[in-house]
């Protein structure tokens, strides 16, 4: 791995033991996850095989396994991989979840497949500045008609921009878009922010755009754990507005993240 990905692996290994605890009693993060799962379930039937990139602690893999999917979970952070493997043993999911240390830039090393779908949740792919390094590897991993569901961080997050008076540098950090210094558990690495148009453009002509959905456009970002509990009535109002706006242009391209799905439709070369 490059020095960049070594730093990413170290940062998220340090975060591995505390990551799941942050999500406990976190209404908006739970809501965000449910929206991602609903997006996946609308495109992939139960029983489908999924290759998950940057699987983190395995929270999503376990949830999807509970919905009947078979998940091949991958990550580069040893600490995260240890958490996934622990969950697989603890919940006896060996028949539904397999685990492989693998970078999304080296998908030729994947030992299973082809898959019905390839997923990546909560911005793991924001750790690379050229998404085509990932997308060009996908055709040999997907079945014809297979889908890609990625959750990406965009350059515009309304909740961060309104903090300009309090923390100008943090509020505008995404607007730089490329090679933005991030700090996770004391380890620095570079992050990148993409529009849906840029993500779509990274795919070849054999992929067709299915849906784009904003994720937490008007509700707080995932790192804000207290707002929903402190202001429950206002939060419920924002949820209603968010559910409406998240499918509309230009709001669907904003937010803490957006969900983008593509379908693989290979050209008949015979």
**Which residue is listed with tokens 């419920």?**
236
Distance CA 216, CA 197 (A): 19
Sign of CA dihedral 201, 203, 209, 215: negative
- Residue 212 burial (CB < 10 Å; 0-12/13-18/19+)? buried
pLDDT given for residue 270 in this prediction: 41
pLDDT in tens, 204-230: 999 999 999 999 999 999 999 999 999
Contact 73, 99 (CB under 8 A): yes
Q: Which residues contact 175 (CB under 8 A, 6 or more apart)?
A: 155, 156
* φ, ψ for residue 181, nearest 5 deg: -70, 125
Q: Which residues contact 75 (CB under 8 A, 6 or more apart)?
A: 12, 54, 55, 56, 81, 84, 101, 102
User: In DSSP terms, which residues pair with 33 in a beta bridge?
Assistant: none
- Residue 94 burial (CB < 10 Å; 0-12/13-18/19+)? exposed
pLDDT given for residue 92 in this prediction: 98
Low-confidence ranges of the chain (pLDDT < 70): 268-270
Please report which helix (H) or strand (E) contains residue 190, including its range. Answer: strand 187-191
Sign of CA dihedral 19, 24, 25, 27: positive
Other beta carbons less than 10 A from residue 244's beta carbon: 12
pLDDT given for residue 1 in this prediction: 74
Contact 55, 61 (CB under 8 A): yes
- Domains, in order of start, for the chain: 3-264 (3.40.50.150)
Candidates 180, 182, 119, 183; CA nearest to 152 is 119
Contact 259, 36 (CB under 8 A): yes
């Amino acid at each position: 791995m490059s020095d960049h990905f070594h730093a990413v692996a170290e940062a998220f290994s340090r975060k591995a033991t505390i990551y799941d605890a942050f999500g406990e009693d976190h209404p908006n993060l739970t809501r965000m996850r449910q929206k991602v799962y609903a997006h996946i379930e609308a495109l992939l039937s139960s029983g489908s095989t999924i290759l998950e990139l940057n699987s983190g602690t395995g929270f999503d893999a376990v949830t999807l396994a509970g919905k009947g999917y078979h998940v091949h979970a991958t990550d580069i952070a040893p600490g995260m991989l240890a958490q996934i493997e622990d969950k697989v043993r603890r919940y006896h999911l060996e028949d539904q979840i397999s685990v492989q240390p693998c970078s999304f830039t080296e998908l030729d090393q994947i030992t299973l497949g082809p898959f019905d779908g390839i997923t990546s949740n909560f911005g793991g792919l924001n750790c690379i500045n050229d998404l085509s390094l990932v997308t060009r590897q996908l055709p040999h991993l997907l079945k014809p008609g297979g889908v890609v569901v990625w959750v990406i961080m965009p350059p515009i997050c309304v909740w961060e921009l309104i903090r300009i008076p309090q923390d100008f540098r943090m509020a505008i950090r995404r607007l730089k878009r490329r090679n933005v210094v991030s700090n996770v558990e004391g380890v620095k690495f570079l992050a990148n922010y993409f529009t849906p148009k840029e993500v779509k453009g990274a795919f070849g002509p054999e992929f067709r755009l299915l849906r784009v959905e904003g994720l937490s456009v008007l509700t707080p970002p995932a790192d804000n754990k207290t707002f929903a509990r402190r202001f429950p009535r206002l939060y419920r109002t924002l949820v209603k507005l968010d559910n409406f706006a998240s499918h509309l242009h230009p709001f669907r391209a904003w937010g803490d993240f957006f969900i983008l799905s593509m379908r693989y439709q290979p050209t008949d070369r015979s």
